[in-house]
Structure 1
Amino acid sequence: MSARPRFRRPLLAGALALAVAGGALGFAFASGGSPAAAGAALAVSVDKHACGAPPARLPAGPVAFEVTDAAPTFVTVYLTDPTGARAYAEIRWLGPRHSLPLTGSLAAGRYALRCVFSDGPVVVSPGLVVTGTAPDTEPGYRPMTSTDLEQPVLAYRAWVQAALPGLQSAVRTLDGDVARGDLSAARNDWLPAHLAYERLGAAYNSFGDFDDAIDGRPDGLQGGVDDPGWTGFLAVEHGLWHGAPAARLRSLTQKLVADVTGLIADFPSEDTDSEDLPLRAHEILENGLQFQLTGQEDQGSGTTLATLDANVQGTQEVLSLLAPLLRERDPGLVAGVDAGLTALRGQLAATHPAAGPWPAAASLDRATRERLDGTLGGLLEQLARIPNLLAARNAA
């Protein structure tokens, strides 16, 4: 049995899977609020012959439909312009005989409901004319296609490719320290090498088995921290801070150099799923909350807050590449997340003196821990919106 990889599928993905399995999962990209806020919801029943029969005319402002799937298959329902070029609200995967609200706040114009059934049919409702004026109406968003993320993914892969030689140089320095028997230097050089890997955040699923070998945890191994199959940065950390002899450490650092070298050779042939990048924008810091801020991943160096800071930098890189797509769909989200990431890095920096050692997560006073936890929790709420905003909607 191998060590558990550093990267874990977070709670968000599991929650989505459970909701879909349960029958219906809906999202509304709208500022118009809930059906209660907009008044009585308008009942709409959809099937493969008609995508409902909305009123022919409505006043500008909040609108709410209660959509029921009368077909035997799942359906995605969009509120769009007549051509389908821009969407204003949506329900993702409405289940048979289930109902969900579809809410929005509409400016004057022409609209329609668009139903995309899971087995292929696409049906559009009669047109809906909205008249008058209202504040805070939805600008709409261009539905994503699977090709929209190709350029950000290529740019991210190029960034990772350029960073890998620096990682290789850092692990070679660490290995050289251990080869000379200078374990004090090795303890100093371990952290820069580890952070060089942690900044690569979103690329983990493109690293295949190398992620397990390079940064796996001991939980799940039969022998735990003493298991001979445990390798990588965390195994080296445990040895360096728990008195392992240089000979044992050398076998680990040599293996680490070999694995990083193998990763560099293998990475160009590994695929990166275009849907992974938006998901990683949330997952990197969810893992940071679970394993770094809690100190759960600490193997003796007390540097998980530094690792969390590297995770923030990895998230910033992902966000910078997704920003043009996000601004088109949610103009305020990028600015809000940018501000939150900057604030979190500032709070992390304030936990230790300039060029001084990082404090162990367990040593933080209650006020500092709560401040970090609050900032990170707020960020995760915002970042959790990105996977759905950037989900492919080829049939919209």
Structure 2
Amino acid sequence: MPLPRLGTRSVRLRTAPAVFVVLAVALGGTLLAVSPDGARHGKASAGASGHAVIEVSESRCGSGWTRPEPGVRTFDLHNSSDGAAEVYLEDPDSHAVYGEVEGIAPGTTRQLTVRVGKGSYAFECVPDDADAVTGPTVRITSGQRGPGAAPVSEHDLIPPALSYQKWVGDGLADVVRLTTRLQRDIDGGDLAAARSDWLPAHLEYERLGAAYDAFGDADAQINGTDAGLADGVRDKDFAGFHRIEYGLWHGESSDGLRAPAAALAKALTGLRDSWAQTRMDPAQLGLRAHEILENTVQFELTGRTDYGSGSNLATARANLDGTRQVLSRLRPLLTTRYADLPGLDQELDRAQRTLDGFRHGPGWTPLDQLSRAQREQADSVLGDLVERLASVATLCDPRRTV
């Protein structure tokens, strides 16, 4: 897959961090596991602050848990091998995962905090370049354990990814149709109609949020911003919807907008026609469900992508629609893994009601016209939703076990 260029929408989307991914899933209001961002060099002293030092290596994976008592326990995972590794704390019978830390560098120690209770546990060490190794089983005879989740495989994610990819193909056809209308407005010199038709076309594209990374370089031509461009909005590489938005709302003539509109229509048509040969990465689907709204908070609610139309809240609403489309395909996997799925649904509905409150017929309230209370409400409801969607990203992150 091509690397995204500066100024594209797809640079907003981040892949799962290689050095810090934990199974921090809010199930029933309880964190499944918590791990600090940083790594500590050197081996932790045994028993420091009640911590258990757990060895991460192929020969002694999981050794060091000598006092299996119930309650909240912190494990210092020390990688004594010569390569990076990820570690899971799981039920060796059901393989339900209770905690996870990825990217533990050689010679470093990372912490994992988990509530353990009655049941069986084992650490699984997965070196970057070797097979997984399961450590000794530890049994606890009392107490209530924290939440766990059955792992998801890439095979599990293929059907939802194929379904979503088909939906994106249909969506691209709609974007091309709406953009063709926008191009006709500009070619005909009717800029008032172009301003009316720009938003529906742009929002239809924004709803395809989980596919931006698969769009590759085409996204720069379709939805690029002026970020990283030497001449900003006047740079020759500033293109796509936002280029046209800037011109429509800053008094540019139809003559100046005809070439950008033609380029946009051409890029979208090419993307639509080639989409059937594109393959999305199924492993990224859960991550994208989270990042669509994470980027909404970062870019739309801050006004960083407003080039004159004042439509950031409309874009946020379209992004919410896009998130729902991804979640609808992941729901069969989440139903048995995410205990607070009803709570997520409630937050999605609350976010939709909040954003819909800023719509007035075909128009939307610009960000700079919101009261402080309204801004805080929008930030709060979407911020809370982003936190919940982080759970989806983690639960749908395929685990490597061999």
Q: 1:275 to 1:124 in 2, by over 3 A?
A: closer
Could you tell me whether the CA contact under 8 Å between 2:151 and 2:398 is conserved in 1? Answer: yes
**Secondary structure of 2:336's partner?**
helix
Could you tell me whether the CA contact under 8 Å between 1:50 and 1:124 is conserved in 2? Answer: no
**Secondary structure of 1:188's partner?**
helix
Q: 1:101 to 1:229 in 2, by over 3 A?
A: closer
Could you tell me whether the CA contact under 8 Å between 2:187 and 2:258 is conserved in 1? Answer: yes
Candidates 359, 369, 372, aligned match of 1:363: 369
Mapped to 2, the partners of 1:290 and 1:371 lie a distance apart of 15
Could you tell me whether the CA contact under 8 Å between 1:150 and 1:274 is conserved in 2? Answer: yes
Within-5 A mapping of 1:302-317: 302-317=310-325
Could you tell me whether the CA contact under 8 Å between 1:217 and 1:297 is conserved in 2? Answer: yes
- What is residue 213 of structure 1 aligned with on the other side? 221
Pairwise CA RMSD = 2.8
- What is residue 392 of structure 1 aligned with on the other side? 398
Mapped to 2, the partners of 1:361 and 1:75 lie a distance apart of 45
Mapped to 1, the partners of 2:105 and 2:242 lie a distance apart of 45
Could you tell me whether the CA contact under 8 Å between 1:32 and 1:63 is conserved in 2? Answer: no
- The one-character-per-residue Cα deviations of 1:4-38 (angstroms, maximum 9, x if unpaired) are 1123235x759x35xx2xxx765566757779xxx
Q: 1:44 to 1:258 in 2, by over 3 A?
A: closer
Mapped to 1, the partners of 2:79 and 2:302 lie a distance apart of 44
Could you tell me whether the CA contact under 8 Å between 1:57 and 1:129 is conserved in 2? Answer: no
- What is residue 7 of structure 2 aligned with on the other side? 4
- What is residue 49 of structure 1 aligned with on the other side? 59
- What is residue 88 of structure 1 aligned with on the other side? 98
Within-5 A mapping of 1:247-396: 247-332=255-340, 334-353=341-360, 355-395=361-401
Mapped to 1, the partners of 2:195 and 2:91 lie a distance apart of 60
Mapped to 1, the partners of 2:158 and 2:34 lie a distance apart of 35
Q: Percent identity?
A: 38
Could you tell me whether the CA contact under 8 Å between 2:287 and 2:397 is conserved in 1? Answer: no
Could you tell me whether the CA contact under 8 Å between 2:23 and 2:98 is conserved in 1? Answer: no
Within-5 A mapping of 1:215-230: 215-230=223-238
Could you tell me whether the CA contact under 8 Å between 2:175 and 2:205 is conserved in 1? Answer: yes
Aligned residues: 381
- The one-character-per-residue Cα deviations of 1:50-78 (angstroms, maximum 9, x if unpaired) are 22345678455544433322222223222
Mapped to 2, the partners of 1:309 and 1:102 lie a distance apart of 36
- The one-character-per-residue Cα deviations of 1:191-248 (angstroms, maximum 9, x if unpaired) are 1111111111111111122211111112333332223443211111111112222222
- What is residue 189 of structure 2 aligned with on the other side? 181
**Secondary structure of 1:72's partner?**
coil
Within-5 A mapping of 1:32-111: 40-53=50-63, 58=68, 61-83=71-93, 85-111=95-121
Q: Output the amino acid matched with 1:111.
A: Y
Post-superposition offset of 1:84? 6.5
Mapped to 1, the partners of 2:323 and 2:206 lie a distance apart of 11
**Secondary structure of 1:252's partner?**
helix
Q: 1:248 to 1:385 in 2, by over 3 A?
A: same
Could you tell me whether the CA contact under 8 Å between 1:143 and 1:394 is conserved in 2? Answer: no
**Secondary structure of 2:89's partner?**
strand
Q: 1:62 to 1:42 in 2, by over 3 A?
A: same
Unaligned segments of structure 2, at least 5 residues: 36-48
Could you tell me whether the CA contact under 8 Å between 1:195 and 1:307 is conserved in 2? Answer: yes
TM-score of the pair, normalised by structure 1:
0.86
Could you tell me whether the CA contact under 8 Å between 1:168 and 1:257 is conserved in 2? Answer: yes
Q: Which moved more, 1:204-213 or 1:95-104?
A: 95-104
Could you tell me whether the CA contact under 8 Å between 1:28 and 1:102 is conserved in 2? Answer: no
Q: 1:227 to 1:116 in 2, by over 3 A?
A: closer
Mapped to 2, the partners of 1:31 and 1:241 lie a distance apart of 46
Post-superposition offset of 1:101? 3.4
Q: Output the amino acid matched with 1:339.
A: Q
Mapped to 1, the partners of 2:227 and 2:33 lie a distance apart of 44
Q: Which moved more, 1:382-391 or 1:170-179?
A: 382-391
**Secondary structure of 1:167's partner?**
helix
Mapped to 1, the partners of 2:24 and 2:107 lie a distance apart of 20
Post-superposition offset of 1:311? 0.9
Unaligned segments of structure 1, at least 5 residues: none
**Secondary structure of 1:384's partner?**
helix
